[in-house]
Amino acid sequence: MINLNLNILKKISEQYGDAFYLLDTEQFRNNFIELREEFQKIYLKTNIAYSYKTNYIPRLCKIVNELGGYAEIVSEMEYEIAKKLEIPSQHIIFNGPYKNPEKLGFLLLKGITINIDSIQELNLIKNIIADYPERQFSIGIRCNFNIGDGVISRFGFDVEDKDFSKALTLISETPNLRLKGMHSHFATRDIKTWPIRTKKMLETVQQYYDGIPEYICQGGGIYGKMDPQLKVQFDTYIPSYREYAEVVCPLYQKQYGELPLEKQPTMFIEPGSALVGDCMKLVSRVISIKKVQSKDIATVLASIYNINPTLNKKIHLLP
């Protein structure tokens, strides 16, 4: 963690004004390394595709790339960031329920991994690649199923719906198209859902994928590190990175651990908040402190929207 004292803050303030963010890149780097290592200790073929949308400050995206992680993107704008940072195309995974039809062909030709979200998107891809019969293309498919959290996620194909089987058939019938991986993402971070989503993902792959895929993405939905005063404000248990790894990775190890390493599918997790949630601080000059009835009130030169734009009820205090 950044070692803060008043002198340092005053110096920064001289340059940046009355309110500014501090980015703790060391914390981010350590989080990335620790999270991946916890998973790799049990299933070595794990990697991280960092969810750009969570926080795409280029410095963070660059660190991910330096550490061998991938870029998980959902928009053209995020692609532009990845391109500017010279992230290799093979290290970019494009999820997201909307992919601009005019850019899709360009991204496919670049060799970016596209995980399709609907049959409409697959049809677009089929039309695009029909113009390149001599080239081979590969895509992934986003899978959706019930993980018992009471939420119907909007991401991907319902694996029990006819569109899912139809998409798999369409892919296998397209001569220059291959399915290389399967993806899922569920927003809930409750660790109780992780054995369920992992098992269902592995069962889906077993049932519908002919052979061993190159990758299986387990998505995001992992809690980050928190101070005890923040943890107690959640109504679910806040697990450590290791606890997530311990419910996910043994299932992968059991399924694929006997295979030679090069044949094992890469298992991606796509953390956003789990990596970056504790890496930024907002610093602000305090203008006045007063007491109104029994309440202490400090007026600062920053806004609540700078740290809590959705105005959730969680209170972030310095430890």
Rounded least distance, CB 221 to ligand PLP, Å: 5
Rounded least distance, CB 184 to ligand PLP, Å: 9
The amino acid that residue 259 corresponds to is: L
Element (H, E) at 248: helix 241-256
* 116: region left, alpha or beta (phi > 0 left; psi from -120 to 50 alpha): beta
Rounded least distance, CB 18 to ligand PLP, Å: 30
Contact status: 221 vs ligand PLP (CB under 6 A): yes
Report residue 317 CA to chain centroid gap.
Answer: 26
Report residue 201 CA to chain centroid gap.
Answer: 17
Gap between the Cα atoms of 45 and 53, Å rounded = 25
Site string for ligand PLP, 101-120 (x = CB under 6 A): --------------------
Are the C-beta atoms of 9 and 229 separated by less than 8 Å?
Answer: no
Rounded least distance, CB 135 to ligand PLP, Å: 27
Q: Which is nearer to ligand PLP, 78 or 270 (CB)?
A: 270
Stretch that binds ligand PLP, among 3-11, 80-88, 128-136, 216-224 (CB under 6 A): 216-224
Q: Which is nearer to ligand PLP, 52 or 284 (CB)?
A: 52
Q: Is the Cα dihedral 76, 77, 82, 86 positive or negative?
A: positive
Rounded least distance, CB 298 to ligand PLP, Å: 30
Gap between the Cα atoms of 80 and 58, Å rounded = 11
Binds ligand PLP by CB under 6 A, chosen from 220, 225, 244, 252: 220
- As beta bridge partners, residue 51 has 72
Q: What single DSSP character describes residue 272?
A: S
Strand (E) positions, the chain? 19-23, 46-51, 70-73, 92-94, 113-116, 137-144, 157-158, 177-183, 215-217, 266-269, 280-284, 286-292, 295-300
Binds ligand PLP by CB under 6 A, chosen from 114, 179, 222, 248: 222
Site string for ligand PLP, 131-170 (x = CB under 6 A): ----------------------------------------
Stretch that binds ligand PLP, among 31-39, 56-64, 170-178, 272-280 (CB under 6 A): 272-280
Gap between the Cα atoms of 300 and 290, Å rounded = 12
Rounded least distance, CB 143 to ligand PLP, Å: 12
Q: Which residue carries 């789990």 as its tokens?
A: 274
Binds ligand PLP by CB under 6 A, chosen from 76, 121, 190, 270: 270
Binds ligand PLP by CB under 6 A, chosen from 164, 272, 278, 284: 272
Let me know how many helices (H) and strands (E) the chain has, helices first: 11, 13
Gap between the Cα atoms of 252 and 265, Å rounded = 9
Q: Which is nearer to ligand PLP, 77 or 289 (CB)?
A: 77
Interface with ligand PLP in residues 38-97 (CB under 6 A)? 51, 54, 72, 95
Q: Which is nearer to ligand PLP, 164 or 244 (CB)?
A: 244
Binds ligand PLP by CB under 6 A, chosen from 140, 219, 239, 265: 219
Which residues contribute to the site for ligand PLP (CB under 6 A)?
51, 54, 72, 95, 185, 187, 219-222, 270-274
